[in-house]
């Protein structure tokens, strides 16, 4: 999952459409590791058991 997200976020950071965004949004989006780290922090805060616990709660 990490490798896939890393690959996709690097592709997003190099997208030409990103250059048209305002600087406040463009700068964080151009840093894929910043986005990936933020996603992990959100996952830890809101889904403490990880994906396995999320699957158990939904079934």
Q: For the chain, which residues make up each domain, given as ranges?
A: 2-58
Q: Dump pLDDT digits (tens) for 2-52.
A: 788 888 888 888 788 877 888 888 888 788 888 888 888 888 888 777 767
**Cβ(18)–Cβ(12) below 8 Å:** yes
Q: Check residue 59 and give its pLDDT.
A: 65
**Cβ(35)–Cβ(9) below 8 Å:** yes
Q: Nearest-5° angle of CA 29, CA 16, CA 3? A: 50
pTM: 0.58
Distance (Å, whole) CA 23 – CA 19: 9
Helices (H), 1-59: 2-13, 23-29, 32-46, 50-58
Q: Check residue 22 and give its pLDDT.
A: 87
């Amino acid at each position: 999952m990490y490798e896939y997200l890393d690959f996709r976020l690097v592709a997003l950071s190099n997208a030409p459409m990103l250059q048209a965004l305002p600087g406040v949004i463009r700068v964080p989006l151009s840093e894929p590791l910043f986005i990936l780290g933020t996603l992990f922090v959100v996952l830890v805060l809101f889904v403490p058991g990880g994906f396995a616990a999320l699957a158990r709660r939904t079934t």
